Amino acid sequence: PLKLTITKEAYRGSNRNSVPYFNPQQKGEQYNPALDPELNLIDVLNFVGADQVANSNNRRQARTYLPTKRFYIQTDPQKAFQLGMAEPQDSGRVYSRIPVQISAEKNYLIKDELAILDVIASNINERPVYFAVTCRPEKMFGLQDFMRLEGLSLRITPVKAQNTTDRRVYGSVYGAGRVGTEQVYGNVMEKFRWGNFDKYDVFVDNSYAPAVQSHHIIMLRTAEELMYQGDSTRAVNLCRQYLEAFPHMNFPYDYRTMRFLNIMVDGGAYEEAKAHLQLLAEQTVEFLKFYDSLSVEALEAGFQSDFALTVRTKEDILRAVRRAGDTEYAAQLEETFKPFDYQSQLPQTPPPPPPPQEQGE
């Protein structure tokens, strides 16, 4: 069972539904972090878990309070290696304190937030602790830099990510921390079980979209990291697995598919990618025909971004084929796309694909 520092009785019922922040040293309207002591989260939990207010008969009055907004998770560097939170190459980069971030504007913790912090601090040195990739970012307390993507979850580790640009590309949750390429690859290729979307042509309801997006992004991010590491074979394998598990017949290709295909082309699997490029080209033509059927007013009112991304996809397909040196197929595609030359109507640099939406947006 999970360990908790705050007792079950202290959590039960309406107890600690909301724990207010209170520091009598903070006398001005603007929060001054220098006036807050920096405490071990375990000590904060012990304080909050005990009744600090004598008048317990007033049910509206909180029984306890948060004495500081500055605290940290204490870790044991030696156990970090034993538990797999840190790897040999992380030697010298293991933090003994992981800072927890509470915004200056936030003046209370609600029960679920308190429980999350309790689970992390009480178990971090004894067992793996994870956030799901579908978690809301504000529930992560600024721990994103101290996470490692291992599949559909992010493990909290005492090793800080050196590259934070992934968050701008993949979103603040999907792009959090580092990529555990070994862990993700092993889980996706050996442990994940796929549910026959690749075998039957069926209607896929939009309620599946968050799950599909999660698989899409974790596999894409890992494949791109493997390419960066020079491991094109496994990068291509991940792309192949994604395209097999989420085929065009049930998940129509669009601009997001192109990033997988670029990896395959650059990873030496152009001939295999070519069939998927053709499917994407055909789908892109259908989108362009639809946009052509709209009035300028309708296009600008509701489809301008989608239109620009589709035109970008058309150009990306052509670039990938030319990059592979397939002049014959490039000429064929140029003829296919000839009716849709919008260069005079678009900015010189079409917009990049938008970052993924966080769950709940």
**pLDDT tens track for 151-175:** 999 999 999 998 878 888 899 899 9
- Smallest CA-to-CA distance from 48 within 21, 73, 30, 25 is with 21
Label residue 336 left, alpha or beta by phi (over 0 means left) and psi (-120 to 50 means alpha): alpha
pLDDT tens by residue, 41-100: 999 999 999 998 765 566 666 789 999 999 999 999 999 999 999 999 999 999 999 999
pLDDT value of residue 348:
44
CA atoms of 271 and 324, how far apart (whole Å): 9
**Cβ-contact 112, 184 below 8 angstroms:** no
Which residues neighbour 235 within 8 Å (Cβ) at sequence distance 6 or greater? 223, 224, 226, 227, 263, 267
pLDDT at 2 over 70: yes
What pLDDT does 334 receive? 97
Average pLDDT, the chain: 92
Lookup result for tokens 């007013």: 297
The contacts of residue 259 (CB under 8 Å, 6+ apart) are 220, 224, 353
pLDDT band at 347 (very low <50, low <70, confident <90, very high): very low
pLDDT score of 195: 83
How confident is the model at residue 78, as a pLDDT? 94
Q: Can you give the pTM of this predicted structure?
A: 0.90
Percent of the chain with pLDDT over 70: 93
CB of 267 closer than 8 Å to CB of 235: yes
| Tens-place pLDDT, residues 191-234 | 999 988 889 999 999 898 999 999 999 999 999 999 999 999 99
The alpha carbon of residue 166 and the mean position of all alpha carbons in its chain are separated, in whole angstroms, by 9
Structure tokens at 264: 């395959």
Tokens of 206: 């939009």
Q: Residue 165 and residue 142: Cα distance in Å, rounded?
A: 15
Helix (H, G, I), strand (E, B) or coil at 331: helix
Beta strands 97-100 and 71-74: pairing type? antiparallel
Arithmetic mean of pLDDT, 263-288: 98
